[in-house]
């Protein structure tokens, strides 16, 4: 079929939008009513960005599926954009959370679960010391603060097109002329991000070296493989160079494993034998209870302690009243020991391979100039023949109309993909039948562009 016919695509999109409106009357009515007291009719601003004319409202979810208020069931490959990578309402975590509900939720005192959580995280990621935050955003903010504090340096470095949560310093991007500028849409940046942040393209070792050379960068904050501009894998030697250059220039390396936890039980850090100074992880580790963790080396711990005092522990800008709560720790313990287990990954990763093979079969049959990319249990397809090497190339390869059509066609046929990309995540509850359902829906959506 070659490149997609734009007229057929426009007609297909109009058809799918009409079908979406016709088949979701209750969601539509709820969205209209919600406008009375919710900004744009949603409780969180990103929820306006789904492919339909309005968001679908959820009734309930279980395992790999959920049902909307119109009674339609979906196979969920979005999984709360990784927040529900455990599958919905995983039994072991739900039981632990329910048990904790009867025993008190938050004390600003530790519970015994904290010890087991930290020991298991140490085993998985190879870092000895851990702390708990409420969100991955917070974990990243705290990692940056610690890095600044112990190095005495003002700046951080991120890769172009990154996403690490709503962390002010990371809302920076490269302009075409190479300047660091605020990301489009950045709401009320406290300072010009070029003051706080250097940005280079992923996989560009020479640019990284130039950016670290002035010796003023406290840390590089990086996903080991980028996942928020689509999946961008490191080229051979990139991680070795990143580690070597950061060490050489006295810069700490922070691995944000929040999404790359899809690579295995210890994220890319363990899967690829990386040696970050700090690791952050959030989203699914509490099976949906808001909680994140950050770990660090003994050296970072010593340097932090040497510059802090117990009397000032509550005024350092790190922590939070509900961080490390009894509820959060009960949820993390159950998630790590009974849900996102080694055995679960041994099922999830082959399912992602099966998902990719199903998509590739259609791409081959239809002779589409598209490709599939995968990182452990996460898989996606790209509307381009050449895999992007960095955020800039990824942004240039986006096809907004095609992306919207594919999402909406899938949604109308009972399959939810991650918004903003054509990305799917496997949970421990995902089945081969779920994956094959996507393959059939993908084929139907592509074929509809031909007739
Ligand atoms: C890699 C990464 N880190 C951190 C975050 C922030 O997570 P949260 O919004 O739960 O704070 C995200 C969110 O998408 C993410 O993708």
Query: For residue 4, what pLDDT band results from cuts at 50, 70 and 90?
Result: confident
Query: Is the CB of 280 inside a 6 Å radius of any atom of ligand 1?
Result: no
CA of 449 to the centre of ligand 1 (A): 34
- In the chain, the N- to C-terminal Cα span, in Å, equals 11
Average pLDDT over residues 312-334: 95
d(CA 170, CA 233): 20
Residue 283 is predicted with a pLDDT of: 97
Residue 371 is predicted with a pLDDT of: 96
Average pLDDT over residues 144-151: 98
Residue 420 is predicted with a pLDDT of: 83
What does the pLDDT look like over 262-271, one tens digit per residue? 999 999 999 9
Contacts 24+ apart (CB under 8 A), 27-31: 27/54, 27/55, 27/56, 27/57, 27/68, 27/69, 27/70, 28/53, 28/54, 30/57, 30/69, 31/55, 31/57
What does the pLDDT look like over 300-313, one tens digit per residue? 999 999 998 888 88
Average pLDDT over residues 111-133: 98
Asked if residue 175 has pLDDT above 60, the reply is yes
252-256, strands of its sheet edge to edge: 129-133, 292-296, 278-281, 252-256, 217-222, 155-159, 197-200
Query: Is the CB of 223 inside a 6 Å radius of any atom of ligand 1?
Result: yes
CA-closest candidate to residue 199, choices 225, 181, 226, 223: 181
Asked if residue 375 has pLDDT above 70, the reply is yes
Supply 146's token pair: 């610690």
Query: Is the CB of 163 inside a 6 Å radius of any atom of ligand 1?
Result: yes
Asked if residue 1 has pLDDT above 80, the reply is no
Atom 2 (ligand 1) nearest CA: 164
Atom 9 (ligand 1) nearest CA: 165
Mean pLDDT taken over the chain: 97
Atom of ligand 1 nearest to the CA of 140: 4
CB atoms within 10 A of CB 297: 18
Supply 45's token pair: 């601003």
Residue of 283, 293, 322, 421 to test ligand 1 pocket, by largest number of atoms within 8 Å of CB: 283
Asked if residue 241 has pLDDT above 90, the reply is yes
Query: For residue 151, what pLDDT band results from cuts at 50, 70 and 90?
Result: very high
CA of 283 to the centre of ligand 1 (A): 7
What does the pLDDT look like over 199-224, one tens digit per residue? 999 999 999 999 999 999 999 999 99
d(CA 53, CA 33): 15
What does the pLDDT look like over 43-81, one tens digit per residue? 999 999 999 999 999 999 999 999 999 999 999 999 999
- pTM recorded for the entire structure: 0.98
Asked if residue 156 has pLDDT above 70, the reply is yes
Query: Is the CB of 86 inside a 6 Å radius of any atom of ligand 1?
Result: no
Residue 387 is predicted with a pLDDT of: 92
Query: For residue 3, what pLDDT band results from cuts at 50, 70 and 90?
Result: confident
CA of 159 to the centre of ligand 1 (A): 15
Residue 450 is predicted with a pLDDT of: 81
Q: Are 230 and 373 in contact (CB under 8 A)?
A: yes
Query: Is the CB of 136 inside a 6 Å radius of any atom of ligand 1?
Result: yes
Query: Is the CB of 249 inside a 6 Å radius of any atom of ligand 1?
Result: no
Query: For residue 2, what pLDDT band results from cuts at 50, 70 and 90?
Result: low
Asked if residue 317 has pLDDT above 70, the reply is yes
CA distances from 450 to 288, 368, 370 (A): 40, 12, 16
Q: Which of 2-11, 90-99, 123-132, 167-176 has the lowest mean pLDDT?
A: 2-11
CA of 81 to the centre of ligand 1 (A): 9
Asked if residue 279 has pLDDT above 70, the reply is yes
73-76, strands of its sheet edge to edge: 58-62, 65-68, 73-76, 415-416
Query: Is the CB of 228 inside a 6 Å radius of any atom of ligand 1?
Result: yes
């Amino acid at each position: 079929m070659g490149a997609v016919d734009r007229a057929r695509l426009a007609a297909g999109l109009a058809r799918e939008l009409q079908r979406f409106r016709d088949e979701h009357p209750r969601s539509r009515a709820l969205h209209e009513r919600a406008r009375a007291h919710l900004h744009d009719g949603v409780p969180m601003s990103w929820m306006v960005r789904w492919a339909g004319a309005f968001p679908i409202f959820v009734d309930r979810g279980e395992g790999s599926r959920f049902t909307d208020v119109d009674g339609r069931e979906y196979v969920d490959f979005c999984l709360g954009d990784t927040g529900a990578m455990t599958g919905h309402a995983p039994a072991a975590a739900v039981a632990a959370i329910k048990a904790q509900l009867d025993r008190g939720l938050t004390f600003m005192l530790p519970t015994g679960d904290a010890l087991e959580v930290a020991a298991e995280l140490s085993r998985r990621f190879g870092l000895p010391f851990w702390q708990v935050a409420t969100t991955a955003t917070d974990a990243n903010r705290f990692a940056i603060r610690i890095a600044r504090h112990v190095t005495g340096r003002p700046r951080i470095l991120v890769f172009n097109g990154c996403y690490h949560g709503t962390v002010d310093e990371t809302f920076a991007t490269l302009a075409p002329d190479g300047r660091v500028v605020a990301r489009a849409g950045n709401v009320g940046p406290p300072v010009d991000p070029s003051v706080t942040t250097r940005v280079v393209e992923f996989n560009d070792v020479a640019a990284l070296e130039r950016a670290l050379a002035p010796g003023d960068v406290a840390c590089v904050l990086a996903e080991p493989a980028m996942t928020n501009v689509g999946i961008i894998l490191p080229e051979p030697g990139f991680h070795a160079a990143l580690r070597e250059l950061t060490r050489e220039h006295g810069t700490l390396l922070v691995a944000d494993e929040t999404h790359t936890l899809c690579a295995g039980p210890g994220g890319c850090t363990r899967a690829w034998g990386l040696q970050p100074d700090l690791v952050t992880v959030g989203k699914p580790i509490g099976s949906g209870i808001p909680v994140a963790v950050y770990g660090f080396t003994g050296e970072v711990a010593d340097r932090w302690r040497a510059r802090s005092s117990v009397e000032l522990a509550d005024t350092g800008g790190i922590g939070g009243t509900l961080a490390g709560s009894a509820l959060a720790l009960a949820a993390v313990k159950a998630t790590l020991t009974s849900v996102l287990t080694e055995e679960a990954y041994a099922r999830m990763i082959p399912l992602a391979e099966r998902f990719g093979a199903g998509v590739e079969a259609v791409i081959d049959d239809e002779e589409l100039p598209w490709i599939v990319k995968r990182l452990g249990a996460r898989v996606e397809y790209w509307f381009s023949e050449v895999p992007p090497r960095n955020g800039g190339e990824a942004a240039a390869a986006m096809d907004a109309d095609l992306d919207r059509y594919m999402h909406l066609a899938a949604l109308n046929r009972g399959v939810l993909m991650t918004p903003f990309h054509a990305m799917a995540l496997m949970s421990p509850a995902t089945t081969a039948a779920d994956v094959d359902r996507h393959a059939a829906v993908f084929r139907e959506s592509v074929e509809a562009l031909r007739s």
